[in-house]
Amino acid sequence: MEVIPVLDLVGGQVVRAKMGDRDAYRPIVTPLSPTSDPVDVARGFLALHPFTALYVADLDAILQRGDNLSAVRRLRAAFPALTLLIDNGAADAKALAAILEEDLGLAVLGSESQKDGALVAANRGSDEVALSLDFRNERFLGPAAILESPDAWPRRVIVMTLARIGGSAGPDFERLRAVQAIAGSRKVYASGGVRGPADLARLKTLGCAGVLVASALHDGRLSRADLRRLRR
């Protein structure tokens, strides 16, 4: 199972995500990095463990108030060997192409950003595009047609439980099982609520292909030794 650190970007800086309350996000303060600059924070992650991928959420683009494309380009230039999974709020082919045509990384289609299921369906089975199924508590964020049409999903599917991000409730194992039951051969990734190594072990047993993590890394609840054991 792959552990993927998360960079949430606002105004060119990495912010600390908490329970999906994006208006309350503030620049990250972490022992892993001297600043909240995305390159510094990414370098801190890599000093902790040889991660092979980073998840980058451009929250300004998702909220339609600008973008952090220049920061994403800096990350791509600084870490060319890393796979970047980038959610820039793409809801049409043009926004999707902004990621793919520059070869910045894999593009993530967040269900909360979609007007309908057309863009997801246009990338059915894709290896270049991932789908994030976004949930807030019990509510699915996005067109119901996306959740109800797993045959239209790309090869990678993220189960994003926003209300659990940065919290202590743990991953939504029940929802992950429900998505896995309809996902077929697609790779399912968990996001939100990881508290420590016990949660990683359970997600691995559940058969998740990967997990997105931020707070547990910054807070030291996932150590270098924990990550090494999981890798072995």
List pLDDT tens digits, range 161-190. 988 887 778 999 999 999 999 999 999 999
- 8 Å CB contact between 45 and 32: yes
Q: Return the closest-CA partner of residue 51 out of 62, 59, 61, 43.
A: 43
The CA distance from 179 to 190, in Å, is 10
The CA distance from 7 to 109, in Å, is 16
Give burial (CB, 10 Å; 0-12/13-18/19+) of 71: buried
pLDDT-above-70 percentage for the chain = 97
Confidence (pLDDT) at 24: 65
The CA distance from 180 to 100, in Å, is 27
pLDDT-above-90 percentage for the chain = 85
- 8 Å CB contact between 74 and 42: no
Residue span of the structural domain in which 39 resides = 2-231
Residue with tokens 């949930």: 135
The CA distance from 171 to 210, in Å, is 13
**In the chain, what are the helix, strand and coil shares in percent, each to the nearest 5?**
40, 25, 40
Inform me whether the pLDDT recorded for 25 exceeds 80. Answer: no
Confidence (pLDDT) at 166: 76
What angle, rounded to 10 degrees, do the helices at 197-206 and 173-183 form?
20
The number of beta carbons lying within 10 Å of the beta carbon of residue 23 is 5
Predicted confidence band at 205 (pLDDT cuts at 50, 70, 90)? very high
The CA distance from 68 to 122, in Å, is 25
* Max CA pair span of the chain: 44
Inform me whether the pLDDT recorded for 115 exceeds 60. Answer: yes
Q: What is the CATH number of the domain that holds 61?
A: 3.20.20.70
Q: Summarize the confidence of residues 190-217 as an average pLDDT.
A: 95
Inform me whether the pLDDT recorded for 82 exceeds 80. Answer: yes
pLDDT tens by residue, 84-100: 999 999 999 988 998 99
Q: Summarize the confidence of residues 154-159 as an average pLDDT.
A: 98
Confidence (pLDDT) at 105: 95
Residue 198 Cα distances to 127, 192, 216, 222, 230, angstroms: 30, 14, 12, 10, 11
The residues, ordered by sequence, that sit 6+ positions from 72 with a Cβ below 8 Å of its Cβ are 9, 56, 58, 84, 86, 88, 104, 105
Q: Return the closest-CA partner of residue 196 out of 230, 163, 160, 161.
A: 230
Confidence (pLDDT) at 163: 85
The CA distance from 176 to 161, in Å, is 10
Domain count, the chain: 1
Confidence (pLDDT) at 21: 58
Confidence (pLDDT) at 69: 94
Dihedral pair phi/psi, residue 204, rounded to 5°:
-65, -45
Residue 11 Rama label (left phi>0; alpha psi -120 to 50; beta): left
Q: Summarize the confidence of residues 32-49 as an average pLDDT.
A: 98
Confidence (pLDDT) at 125: 96
Confidence (pLDDT) at 98: 84
* Average pLDDT across the chain, whole number: 94
